[in-house]
Amino acid sequence: MASLRPRSPPTSRPRRAPAASGSGILPPDLLFDVLLRLPAKELCRLRAVYRSWRVLTSDRLFVTAHAARHRGPLFVAKFRDDKTSISIVDLSGIVVKRIAGGAAAGPYHQLLCTRLSLACLATDWNRCSVVNPATGAVHVLPQSPAAEYVNRVNLRDPYTIFTLGRVPSTGEHKVLRMFNRLGFQNGGEQLFEVFTINGGTDRAQWRGSHSPGLFIDECSGTVVDGVIYFLTHRVYECARHGIRPDYIVSFDLRREEWRGDLRGPISSNVGYEMVQLYKRYHLTLADLKGSLVLADQRDQPFSMDLWFLADFGTGLWVKEYHIRTESIVSTLTYKFDLKPLLVLDDGRLVLNLASEGLLFLCDPGTNTFAEVDIRCLDSVGVYTGNLLSLGGGDMM
């Protein structure tokens, strides 16, 4: 993008490559333009060739200009045929970067469905790592519980769920951990804790948090603007406990406390008799265009409605999409696991059919689908970072 090219080279950038480097003598502005055209995958390799190229491509001005020029979406993915690494992939299925080995991944780790510049891998037996794809740095979270929960959890047989989010006002990344002790009929409990990534020595431990008062669907956590939203648990099915299927509770990561509950769009727009027909496994939460979205999936006929939360205070929801999904789900499984991941600049939707490990591009205007040519996915999220960035708030 010509408008982002500097009129003169920054003082931090060498005006010419050293004569002994073997890179030839190119004016810095010309080298800037040449390297700006290359994808991030190639630039990451070229950084190891000459120090001058590494300095140039690590310059904040270059990183910003490259991000503006290469605007295609990226995804962080874990493939079913690769149990020990995660990858950054583009919308054509090409692997841009692979982060392998160490504590970053394992055969039982699931990649959380996030929309961040960091990735989070976790197991339900209390293993959790936060990874910076740009640097490869890994932050392994402690397994010990918060001080107030030491005598209330069994670390030999834990059942844990993790959610990673970012606090917009501070830039902090925080993880919410839940020790899930179900047995709703027998007085079970869900214990919640918060951990701050790189929060300093005084915050390098889990901090206990109160329960929301209702059992939550532990796998429904979705973060939007620093707030984690959960559907309530299926133990409240058929509204026999007075809890509607689209009832939502939320946790404020900045304050580390539960907020007021939210009534979903289904129970707000249909009568009590119709609400009883809805099941929680028909419903999915997502973050699209910076808004909380509730996806309502049906099987008669196969379809999906996407409701956008317009105002939390008034509980106003707006249905922006009605998609007929029979062409991609009716001949496959009957699981309600089609999750919207992203709205592209041209209005198309990226959808993940988790049970099959597939990505689809959906044109809501024509209700047509195109399968993305990508290896079978184990789990996937949206990557919002810049692979050229070696500094800033995401460094670990």
d(CA 169, CA 53): 34
Q: List helix spans (H) across the chain.
A: 28-36, 40-46, 51-58, 60-69, 265-269, 272-275, 326-329
CA proximity to 297, closest of 356, 349, 340, 234? 340
- List the single range of 172-186, 203-217, 284-298 with lowest mean pLDDT: 172-186
Beta bridge partners of 309: 317
pLDDT of 157 reads 84
| pLDDT at res. 131 | 93
Q: Which of 62, 14, 70 is nearest to 41 (CA)?
A: 70
Interatomic CA distance for residues 54 and 52, integer angstroms:
5
Confidence label for 311 from pLDDT (cuts 50, 70 and 90): very high
When pLDDT is averaged across residues 202-213 and rounded to a whole number, the result is 88
Q: Over 60: is that where the pLDDT of 11 sits?
A: no
Q: Does residue 388 form part of some domain? A: no
CATH code at 101?
2.120.10.80
Whether residue 237 sits in one domain with residue 105: yes
Residue 248 lies in a domain: yes
Tell me, rounded to whole angstroms, the distance of Cα 376 from its chain centroid: 18
Q: Say if 394 falls within a structural domain.
A: no
Q: What is the mean pLDDT of residues 50-72?
A: 79
- The average pLDDT across 150-179 equals 93
Enclosing H/E stretch for 44:
helix 40-46
| 227-231 and 222-224 strand pairing | antiparallel
Confidence (pLDDT) at 259: 93
Instruction: Name the β-bridge partners of 361.
Output: 350, 370
Which one of 22, 42, 68 terminates a domain?
68
- Tell me: do 248 and 356 sit in the same domain: yes
Domain presence at residue 20: yes
Tell whether the model's pLDDT for residue 228 goes beyond 70.
yes
Residues 93, 141, single domain; the answer is: yes
Q: Do residue 210 and residue 104 come from a single domain?
A: yes
Higher pLDDT, 375 or 7: 375
Q: Report strand pairing: 377-383 vs 115-116.
A: parallel
Least confident of 244-248, 269-273, 324-328: 269-273
Q: Which pLDDT score is estimated for 359? A: 96
Statement: residue 19 has pLDDT above 50: no
Q: How much is the pLDDT for 219? A: 86
pLDDT in the model for residue 116: 96
Return the pLDDT at 183. Answer: 60
For residues 25 and 162, state if they share a domain. no
Determine the pLDDT at residue 370. Answer: 95
Residue 149 has pLDDT above 80, yes or no: yes
Q: Which pLDDT score is estimated for 366? A: 95
Q: What's the pTM? A: 0.84
Q: Do residues 269 and 243 share a domain? A: yes
In the predicted model, is pLDDT for residue 44 greater than 80? Answer: no
Q: What is the mean pLDDT of residues 251-276?
A: 80
Collapsing DSSP states into helix, strand and coil, what is residue 362? strand
Tell me the C-alpha to C-alpha distance, in Å, between residue 262 and each of 107, 174, 265, 271: 37, 23, 10, 17
For residues 328 and 322, the answer to whether their CB atoms sit within 8 Å is no
The pLDDT assigned to 33 comes to: 84
Decide: helix, strand or coil at residue 28.
helix
Phi, psi at 59, each rounded to 5°: -65, 135
User: Does 178 score more than 90 pLDDT?
Assistant: yes
Number of structural domains in the chain? 2
The mean pLDDT of 225-252, rounded to a whole number, is 84
Q: What does the pLDDT read at residue 201?
A: 66
d(CA 389, CA 396): 12
**Contact indicator for 291, 224 with CB cutoff of 8 Å:** yes
Residue 54 is assigned to a structural domain of this protein = yes
Same domain for 136 and 32? no
Q: What pLDDT score was predicted for residue 392? A: 36
Which of 33, 198, 11 shows the shortest CA–CA distance to 118? 198
Which among 68, 89, 120 is the end of a domain?
A: 68
Tell me: the pLDDT tens digits for 358-369?
999 999 999 999
Per-residue pLDDT reduced to its tens digit, 341-357:
999 999 999 999 998 99
Q: Is 381:119 a contact under the CB 8 Å cutoff?
A: yes
Amino acid 2: pLDDT:
38
> Is 10 in the same domain as 110?
no
* 224 shares a domain with 177: yes
- Among 112-126, 242-256, 291-305, 333-347, name the one with the lowest average pLDDT: 333-347
Average pLDDT over residues 234-263: 84
Integer CA distances (angstroms), 131 to 86, 382, 386, 394, in order: 10, 14, 14, 10
Is position 391 within any domain? no
Give the residue among 108, 106, 5, 97 at the shortest CA–CA distance from 56.
5
Give mean pLDDT, residues 45-70: 78
Q: Where does the pLDDT of residue 120 fall: very low under 50, low under 70, confident under 90, or very high at 90 and above?
A: very high
Structure tokens that stand for 8 in this block: 């003169």
Q: Is the pLDDT of residue 218 over 90?
A: no
Give mean pLDDT, residues 302-322. Answer: 94
Same structural domain, 42 and 127: no
The two tokens of residue 328 are 């991609």
Least confident of 61-70, 235-244, 269-278, 334-343: 269-278
Last residue of a domain, one of 20, 37, 68: 68
Same domain, 134 and 279: yes
In a domain, 341, yes or no: yes
Q: What are phi and psi of 23, to 5 degrees?
A: -90, 0
Same domain for 230 and 329, yes or no, is yes
Per-residue confidence (pLDDT) for residue 5, from 0 to 100? 40
Mean pLDDT, all residues of the chain: 83
Q: Is 126 within 8 Å of 143 (Cβ atoms)?
A: yes
Percent of the chain residues topping a pLDDT of 90: 48
pLDDT for residue 73 = 92
DSSP state letters, 246-310 = T-EEEEETTTTEE---B--HHHHHS-HHHHTT--GGGEEEEEETTEEEEEEEEETTEEEEEEEEE
Asked whether residue 396 is domain-assigned, the answer is: no
User: What range defines the domain where residue 47 resides?
Assistant: 2-68
